[in-house]
């Protein structure tokens, strides 16, 4: 029994290291792909600075949260102060990924139970901060659409160089649309061999309806042959 628990603990640690690949293995080919995404974002709108970004997907388990975490890391590696916000107030994961407490987070700030500065947590990654979800509320969409959300976003943009929101799948609930309407731009995460074409197109249409500036899509979990080995881009 003790051996099994130890193996389970080691598996969890390995999973976390994979999720934070850009920090734990900055020379990995996959990490370089995250840097490419960062560069593409920076050059996507030369006439307008992008300081806040929503990452979403059409469905669950498509690598959205992993991509958000690693994109935040490569931004912080530029020396920028970066805030990763767990905007999934239904199934939050950022506190697991970065091994943080989730007693106080975004929901507390939106309900004025906590100031933003008190809720934001530092991480093991230099220059990277995380605002976890906080306690799961009964009305996530209403909180995200509130006037307070707009005020908090303004405060975030004033304190950080880049703010990245990890949000729920856009086809499941309206949360991602609501946030995408408020930030500078959005990115759609697509999982190779998992995301259906019709679902991806529907997700794109919903973001367009929200008047979000969709920069493009990230193709995740695509097996690429290079020499005698394979690697997965954005693998969970």
Per-residue pLDDT reduced to its tens digit, 159-188 = 999 999 999 999 999 999 999 999 999 999
Q: Judge whether residue 5 has pLDDT over 60.
A: no
Regarding beta strands 185-191 and 52-57, do their DSSP bridges make them parallel or antiparallel, or are they unpaired? parallel
- Helix (H) or strand (E) run with residue 74 in it: helix 64-76
pLDDT at position 233? 43
Q: Could you tell me the CATH number of the domain that includes residue 131?
A: 3.40.50.300
First to last CA, the chain: 27
- DSSP conformation letters of 4-58: HHHHHHHHHHHHHHHHTHHHH-TTSHHHHHHHHHHHHHHHHTTTS---EEEEEES
Q: Judge whether residue 208 has pLDDT over 60.
A: yes
Q: What 3-state DSSP class applies to 64?
A: helix
pLDDT at position 25? 81
Which of these, 145, 144, 156, 167, lies nearest to 119 by C-alpha position?
A: 156
Q: Judge whether residue 222 has pLDDT over 80.
A: no
pLDDT at position 10? 42
Q: Which residues form the domain of 66?
A: 2-232
pLDDT tens-place string over residues 134-160: 999 999 999 999 999 999 999 999 999
Domain count for the chain, please give it.
1
pLDDT tens-place string over residues 28-87: 888 899 999 999 998 886 678 899 999 999 988 888 999 999 999 999 999 999 999 999
**Looking at the DSSP assignment, which residues form a beta bridge with residue 57?**
189
Distance, in Å, from the CA atom of 106 to the CA atom of 126, rounded to the nearest integer, reads: 21
Q: Alpha helices of 113-220 — where are they, by DSSP H?
A: 116-119, 140-144, 147-159, 175-180, 197-209
């Amino acid at each position: 029994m003790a051996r099994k628990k130890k193996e389970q603990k080691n598996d969890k640690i390995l999973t976390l290291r994979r999720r934070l690949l850009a920090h734990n293995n900055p020379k990995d080919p996959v990490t370089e792909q995250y840097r490419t995404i960062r560069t593409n974002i920076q050059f996507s709108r030369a006439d307008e600075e992008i300081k806040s970004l929503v990452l979403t997907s059409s469905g669950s388990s498509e690598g959205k949260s992993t991509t958000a975490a690693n994109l935040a890391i490569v931004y912080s590696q530029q020396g920028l102060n970066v805030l990763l916000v767990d905007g999934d107030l239904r199934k939050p994961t950022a506190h697991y990924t970065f091994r943080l407490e989730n007693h106080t987070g975004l929901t507390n700030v939106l309900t004025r139970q906590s100031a933003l500065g008190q809720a934001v947590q530092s991480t093991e990654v230099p220059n990277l901060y995380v605002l976890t979800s906080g306690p799961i509320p009964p009305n996530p969409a209403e909180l995200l659409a509130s006037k307070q959300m707009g005020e908090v976003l303004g405060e975030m943009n004033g304190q950080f160089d880049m703010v990245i929101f990890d949000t729920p799948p856009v086809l499941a609930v309206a949360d991602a649309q609501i946030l995408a309407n408020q930030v500078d731009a959005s990115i759609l995460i697509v999982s190779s061999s998992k995301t259906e074409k019709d679902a991806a197109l529907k997700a794109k249409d919903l973001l367009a309806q929200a008047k979000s500036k969709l920069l493009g899509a990230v193709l995740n979990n695509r097996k690429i042959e290079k020499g005698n080995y394979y690697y997965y881009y954005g693998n969970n």
